[in-house]
Chain A
Amino acid sequence: MIQGYGIDTSSTAAFALSVLPILLVGLRTTILAMLAGFAIALVVGLAFALLRRSPLAVISWPAAAAIEFLRNTPLLMQLFFLYFVLPEYGIVLPAFWTGCAALGLQYAAYMSEVYRAGIEAIPKGQWEAATALNLTRARTYGVVIIPQMVPRITPAIGNYLVSMMKDTPILSTITVVEMLNLASRIGDRTFEYLVPLSMVGLIFFVLTSLCSLALRGIERIIPTKGISLQ
């Protein structure tokens, strides 16, 4: 991956400039992993939340146990588990997708709590009105509950997106070539860890700041009183 890029160690500034294009290659992986993991977390998290609310104990208990397990064990161990155990059952995924799955699953467990709080915050009258209108359970969720939930849960979900981004360097442990992995490689090669690692820190700082700004913007755009359905 470092091939094709020259590294100039003549001065600190030149070194920093020459490693920047390499790190930006890693940045692409970081962002892709964040987005893929986030997509998984959004969908699986909602599934977890709905399963946990199921009136059947056979469904809600295992869901609750799975959520607690995923929430209370380290991402790194879950990642190793997926990376080394899945192939034994014949599921061979590229390291990148294993990483996204691990990120997505852990954050799905976090987000299921957000969804749950969001669902519970909906006034009871909304459920009763949906029943009075003879809406099915699926339609109640689809057109009444979830649209009202979205503005309430956006800030919390946004924070999880940012913290998921900060967790992506963990993927470097299973050989995903993202920013930290590249910085370490540059360090191993030049014996200069200070500049590449500081640059990674700086890029992360800029990224989290940008994300926080963008999220604040989105929170302002999303209507707070629910979304009107024609």
Chain B
Amino acid sequence: MSMLTYLPVLAEAATTSIMVSCLSLVVACALSFAAGIPLYSGPAWLRGIALVYVEIFRGTSLLVQLFWLYYALPLIGFSMPPLLTGVLALGLNSGAYGAEVVRGALRAVPGQQHEAARALNFSGAHTLWRIILPQAVPEMMPSFSSLAVQNLKDTSLVSMITIADLTFKAQELRNLTQDSVTVYATALLLYLAMALIFIGVLRFMERRIKVATGRSA
């Protein structure tokens, strides 16, 4: 059988993968800043919460987190649809890695910038928003890009909790047709294509952000 036979079904399933990836990236992005900024400078209690979050999600395995949210959480009274579980697990996981990126980039901003802001009588929040973040965000972009590609690849794990993504459909097709080589090769190439598109889009965003923050030559 040729790859084209399976392409329509698999391409449709790939849109589910892309959706899961994009939704979880939104969650991850919000969490990265929500945890990364307190880790850099925040009240002790908030930093404590952020630290516990980051350490737990970086210290354990994504598949374990996914299974925990899917199988264990309903037993203590939180029942969620699989799609939401998948998006949350991926978002929480990527967010924890992203928080470290945010913290690192914020730390890399030279100390004189803080001194200058204080000399100009900027408030703490104003300094962060107007001076530190615009310099730190372009620095975060390369790391965020690789996290986003990692996130896209990790969406294949949500097939384990019955979400009909590309991996799930590929498994289904294989069981139906027993044509492992073609089905899996098509699925792998689709993943590769998605990742390459992701990388392209992120490069474009990186450039735009550099222009917007006045960092491009």
Contacts and interface: CB of A to CB of B under 8 A. Distances in A.
A187 B74 CA distance: 13
Contacts of B75: 192-194
B55 to A, nearest CB: 8
A184 B101 CA distance: 33
B84 interface: no
The bracket for how many chain A residues form the interface is 35 or more
Interface in B139-159: 149, 153-157, 159
Contact of A72 (B55, B67, B195): B195
Interface stretch (B23-31, B185-193, B207-215): B185-193
Contacts of A170: 63, 157
A184 B64 CA distance: 10
Contacts of B65: 201
A180 B156 contact: no
A76 B17 CA distance: 14
Interface in B158-208: 159-160, 167, 170-171, 174, 180-181, 184-185, 187-188, 191-192, 195-196, 199
B34 interface: no
Contact of A85 (B68, B157, B171, B181): B181
A204 B62 CA distance: 11
Interface in B3-28: none
A73 B188 contact: yes
A205 interface: yes
A73 B192 contact: yes
A123 interface: no
A81 B184 contact: yes
Given A69-B192, A74-B156, A170-B157, A204 B61 contact: yes
Given A193-B75, A194-B72, A77 B187 contact: yes
- Judged by DSSP, the binding face of B is helix
Interface in B109-158: 149, 153-157
A84 B153 contact: no
Given A72-B153, A72-B196, A197-B64, A84 B188 contact: no
A153 B153 CA distance: 25
A186 to B, nearest CB: 11
B77 to A, nearest CB: 11
Contacts of A60: none
B59 A209 contact: yes
B180 A84 contact: yes
Contact of B167 (A72, A76, A205): A76
A76 B157 contact: yes
Contact of B156 (A77, A205, A208, A209): A77
A180 B171 CA distance: 21
Interface in A176-201: 180, 183-184, 187, 192-194, 197-198, 200-201
Interface in B39-86: 55-56, 58-65, 67-68, 71-72, 75-76
8 contacts: A80-B167, A84-B174, A88-B181, A167-B61, A184-B71, A194-B72, A198-B68, A208-B58
Q: Which 5 residue pairs spanning A and B have beta carbons closest together?
A: A74-B156, A72-B195, A193-B71, A84-B180, A74-B153
Interface of A: 68-69, 72-78, 80-81, 84-85, 88, 166-170, 172-173, 180, 183-184, 187, 192-194, 197-198, 200-201, 204-205, 208-209
